[in-house]
Structure 1
Amino acid sequence: MSYDVVVIGGGPCGATAANDLARAGCDVAFLDRAGRIKPCGGAIPPRLIEDFSIPAGQLVAHIQTARMISPTQRAVDIPIENGFVGMVDREHFDEFLRVRAVENGAVRLIGTYLRLERDADGTHVIYRDKATGAEMRLATRLVIGADGARSVVAKTEVPGGDKIPYVIAYHEIIKAPAASNSYDPGRCDVIYDGKISPDFYGWVFPHGEHCSVGMGTGIDGIDLKQATADLRASAGLTGCETIRREGAPIPLRPMDRWDNGRDVVLAGDAAGVVAPSSGEGIYYAMVGGRVAATAAQATLATGRASKLKLARKLFMKEHGTVFKVLRSMQDAYYKSDERRERFVSLCHDVDVQKLTFEAYMNKKLVSARPLAHIKIGFKNVRHLMGFVPPEYV
Structure 2
Amino acid sequence: MQTDYDVTVVGGGPSGSIAAEQLARRGYRVALVDPRNRIKPCGGAIPSRTLADFDIPEAVLVSRAAAARIIAPSGRKVEMRIGELGYVGMVDRSTFDPYLRERAVSAGARLLIGKLQDISTRDNGTLDLTVEPTSGDPQGAPITLRTRLVIGADGANSAVRRLAFPASRKPPYVFAYHEIVETPARPDPAQFQPDRCDVIYDGRISPDFYGWVFPHGEQTSIGCGSAVKGHNLRLATADLRHAAGLGDCKIIRREGAPLPLKPMRRWDNGRNILLAGDAAGTVAPSSGEGIYYAMLCGRLSANAVEQVLLTGKSAALRQARESFMRAHGRIFWVLGMMQTVWYRNDRFREKFVAMCADADVQRLTWESYLNKQLVRRDPFAHVRVFFKDIGQLFGMVANQK
User: TM-score, normalised to structure 2's length?
Assistant: 0.95
Give 1:123 shift.
1.1
Give 1:156 shift.
2.6
Segment drifting more, 79-88 vs 172-181: 172-181
Distance 1:24 1:160 in 2: 34
Segment drifting more, 102-111 vs 162-171: 162-171
Distance 2:367 2:398 in 1: 27
1:99 paired residue number: 102
Within the candidate set 337, 341, 347, 1:332 is matched to 341
1:296-350 CA-to-partner distances (Å, cap 9, x unmatched) read 0000000000000011011101010010000000000000000000000000100
Within the candidate set 110, 115, 127, 2:118 is matched to 115
Give 1:160 shift.
6.2
Is residue 154–residue 161 contact of structure 1 (8 Å, CA) maintained in 2?
no
Distance 1:271 1:385 in 2: 36
Equivalent pairs, count: 390
Distance 1:216 1:133 in 2: 37
- Which amino acid letter does the alignment assign opposite residue 129 of structure 2? V
Is residue 186–residue 206 contact of structure 1 (8 Å, CA) maintained in 2?
yes
Matching of residue 363 in structure 1 with residue 372 in structure 2: yes
2:157 paired residue number: 150
1:202-254 CA-to-partner distances (Å, cap 9, x unmatched) read 00000000000000001111111111111112222111111100000000100
Is residue 174–residue 244 contact of structure 1 (8 Å, CA) maintained in 2?
yes
- Which amino acid letter does the alignment assign opposite residue 204 of structure 2? K
- Which amino acid letter does the alignment assign opposite residue 140 of structure 1? T
Distance 1:145 1:115 in 2: 13
Within the candidate set 21, 30, 36, 1:34 is matched to 36
2:351 paired residue number: 342
1:308 paired residue number: 317
Distance 1:92 1:387 in 2: 45
Pairing of 1:213-292 with structure 2 (within 5 A):
213-292=222-301
Give 1:173 shift.
0.3
Is residue 68–residue 75 contact of structure 1 (8 Å, CA) maintained in 2?
yes
Is residue 118–residue 129 contact of structure 2 (8 Å, CA) maintained in 1?
yes
2:390 paired residue number: 381
Q: Secondary structure at the match of 1:133?
A: coil
Distance 1:156 1:257 in 2: 16
Give 1:24 shift.
1.1
Query: Gaps spanning 5+ residues in structure 1: where?
Result: none
Q: Secondary structure at the match of 1:386?
A: helix
Distance 1:263 1:161 in 2: 20
2:172 paired residue number: 165
Matching of residue 125 in structure 1 with residue 129 in structure 2: yes
Change (3 A) 1:189 1:18: same
2:19 paired residue number: 17
Is residue 50–residue 292 contact of structure 2 (8 Å, CA) maintained in 1?
yes
Is residue 160–residue 257 contact of structure 1 (8 Å, CA) maintained in 2?
no
Q: Secondary structure at the match of 1:238?
A: coil
Is residue 18–residue 28 contact of structure 1 (8 Å, CA) maintained in 2?
yes
- Which amino acid letter does the alignment assign opposite residue 33 of structure 1? P
User: TM-score, normalised to structure 1's length?
Assistant: 0.97
Segment drifting more, 118-127 vs 50-59: 118-127
1:19-58 CA-to-partner distances (Å, cap 9, x unmatched) read 0101111110110111311100000101111100111111
Q: Secondary structure at the match of 1:385?
A: helix
Is residue 348–residue 396 contact of structure 2 (8 Å, CA) maintained in 1?
no
Q: Secondary structure at the match of 2:237?
A: helix
Distance 2:122 2:53 in 1: 39
Give 1:154 shift.
1.3
Distance 1:371 1:160 in 2: 45
2:363 paired residue number: 354
Distance 1:334 1:347 in 2: 14
Within the candidate set 327, 331, 338, 1:318 is matched to 327
Is residue 191–residue 243 contact of structure 2 (8 Å, CA) maintained in 1?
no
Distance 1:387 1:351 in 2: 21
Distance 1:336 1:129 in 2: 46
Give 1:120 shift.
2.7
Segment drifting more, 132-141 vs 144-153: 132-141
Change (3 A) 1:174 1:162: same
Distance 1:15 1:308 in 2: 18
Give 1:186 shift.
0.5
